[in-house]
Amino acid sequence: YHWKVTDAGLPDGEGGLYLDGPDLARIGLLALRDGMWSGRRVLPEGWVAQATARQVEQVNTAGWGYGFQWWRLDRGETIIWAGLGFGGQFLLVFPQHDVVAVANSWNLFGGSQSGVLGPLIAAVVASLESGVACRASRPERIGAASTASGIPNPSVISSAIGRSSWQHLLAR
């Protein structure tokens, strides 16, 4: 990871945290586990439920909700918690399905890649609805998406988002 610092030499707490796919997915997994990591409580019990609840409704014309730095991008009955970072860092958590999806779609030298979030959500939701969600046998060891047989399977996501590279899709 990289966390830029202010002119005073302090971490830029309003932004500037750059995470790779596995690190970003770990945040999603921490949220899925209500703040537990490897059997240890890292966040107060119930805080994730508060943080991901719709504290503000209808913040835009798409009907998104907003919690404590978490967006709610629900599609029908599918609940989606989203961490949306500058430059195309997308962390999507599907708590009903125990799934985390991550994409880093920013080209540092060419700006952000547009048109990634919608197709990424559509691909994951379609995968979940069809029952072909990718699975990782040990989510604590975050790695590339795979089928139940353990064979890497990026096609579900990569075909939907085109040039941007998919990173991770995890399930229990």
The DSSP 8-state label assigned to residue 56 in this structure reads: B
Distance CA 155, CA 110 (A): 25
Spans in the chain with pLDDT lower than 70: 106-114, 132-172
Residue 119, pLDDT score:
87
Residue 172, pLDDT score:
36
Residue 159, pLDDT score:
32
Distance CA 62, CA 80 (A): 14
Residue 11, pLDDT score:
87
What is residue 33's three-state secondary structure? coil
Residue 111 β-bridge partners: 107
Residue 148, pLDDT score:
36
Residue 129, pLDDT score:
82
Residue 52, pLDDT score:
95
